[in-house]
Amino acid sequence: MKFGLHFQLPRSPNETDLKVFRNSLEQAAHAESLGFESVWPVEQHFNASFSLLSSPLLWLAVLAERTKTLRLGIGIILLPLAHPIRIAEEIATLDVLSNGRVEFGIGRGVFPSHFSGFGVPQEESRERFLEGMDVIRKAWTQNRFSHAGKFFRFEDLSVVPKPIQQPYPPISVAANTPETFELMGDLGLPILSASQVNTFPKLRELIPLYRQAYARAGHENAGEALSLLAPVFVGESNYSVRHTTEPSINRFIQSLIDTFPRAPDNDSPKGKLLADAAERLRNTTYDDVCNTMAIYETPDPRVEKLGRLQEEFNMNRFICWFNTGGLIPHAQLMKSMELFADRVIPHFS
């Protein structure tokens, strides 16, 4: 199993934007020396206490110059909010700059504020996502191409540069709803699943939908198709783990609730997902977090719990989110990463 790191970059009350970015880049570069395989920054907008990462590709471009082997995952680009030609150009450029290290993670998005901020109707997200993905693949695999779709039309384009990886960088799709789990299984695309969105018990219902659709469509190598993201922290004692993580996870929960719309459309799949998640989070305790979505442990129990998850979900990559909520000090976070690399990763090599 491969191990990656997730970055969302919430800004804590006592940090500047500059400090948050510099610390995260230092953590990501250090991860390569510790044996982590990849990093996965996520695109978010309009809420600094939730995330500063409005442009994860720029962050990855800086990191590409500080690393040699680390895979540069995007977890995720909000494809319905972007023009697919621009995304094709920027991802290909990053792939060239990094000598072929890009992992292209994409998703439809969930927060209404993102869609309203960019002037994109959220009800169009599925169609925009699918058309955008089609355009990007054409841009990477055809010297010149034309496209006439519902949202985008152009004639005889030659998109440059082309990615180093052929036919293009690996694509993974964020799966949050039953509809997306099944659709991505039908399409045979690898998925990214996050336990802070769908808890471990919920993933026990959703991942089989993906596997069944994947098998029905005749796709192979299903074991290579799932990356699982979860909040993680490792410490030398249960007291130190809780003392360090509890304020930060509580801040994350509150910032997530604050990001939800006050009156979501509960009749839509996205609205129901947001309403259910907000209600669940309002009643979530720290112990609930540990039991259903996070792995906050000392090393030995952590190995045991992660082993059970690997056996149950058969993921080929586990993506660790060490600073959920953004309150964990840089030095403590680096120490936890080192402890994880020394005491946990070797058990899964």
> What are the CA-CA distances from residue 307 to residues 112, 244, 300, 323 (Å)?
36, 24, 11, 22
Question: Is pLDDT of 234 > 90?
Answer: yes
| Helix H or strand E encompassing 184 | helix 178-187
Q: Which pair of tokens denotes residue 171?
A: 């694509």
pLDDT of residue 255: 87
Question: Is pLDDT of 261 > 70?
Answer: no
* pLDDT one-digit tens code per residue, 308-348: 999 999 999 999 999 999 999 999 999 999 999 999 999 99
pLDDT of residue 279: 76
Structural domain including 303 reads: 2-348
CB 316 within 8 A of CB 193: no
* pLDDT one-digit tens code per residue, 67-80: 999 999 999 999 99
- DSSP class of residue 198? S
The residue with greater pLDDT, 169 or 255, is 169
Q: Where do we find the tokens 């004692």?
A: 237
Percent of the chain with pLDDT over 70: 95
pLDDT of residue 43: 97
Average pLDDT over residues 273-293: 83
pLDDT of residue 282: 81
Average pLDDT over residues 24-39: 98
Give the integer Cα–Cα distance in Å for 129 and 107.
Answer: 7
| Residue 193 bridge partners (DSSP) | 228
pLDDT confidence bin for 258, thresholds 50/70/90: confident
Q: What does pTM read for this prediction?
A: 0.94
Question: Is pLDDT of 97 > 90?
Answer: yes
Give the angle 87-172-126 at the CA atoms, nearest 5°.
70
* pLDDT one-digit tens code per residue, 106-145: 999 988 899 999 999 999 999 999 999 999 999 999 999 9
pLDDT of residue 259: 76
Give the integer Cα–Cα distance in Å for 22 and 59.
Answer: 10
Give the integer Cα–Cα distance in Å for 226 and 82.
Answer: 25
Give the integer Cα–Cα distance in Å for 178 and 166.
Answer: 31
Give the integer Cα–Cα distance in Å for 314 and 138.
Answer: 32
Average pLDDT over residues 204-212: 95
pLDDT of residue 232: 97
* pLDDT one-digit tens code per residue, 134-145: 999 999 999 999
pLDDT of residue 349: 79
* Amino acid occupying residue 59: W
pLDDT of residue 236: 92
Indicate the average pLDDT of the chain.
93
Q: Which pair of tokens denotes residue 77?
A: 């680009």
Question: Is pLDDT of 184 > 80?
Answer: yes
Say how many domains are in the chain.
1
Q: CATH code at 277?
A: 3.20.20.30
CB 52 within 8 A of CB 21: yes
Question: Is pLDDT of 263 > 60?
Answer: no
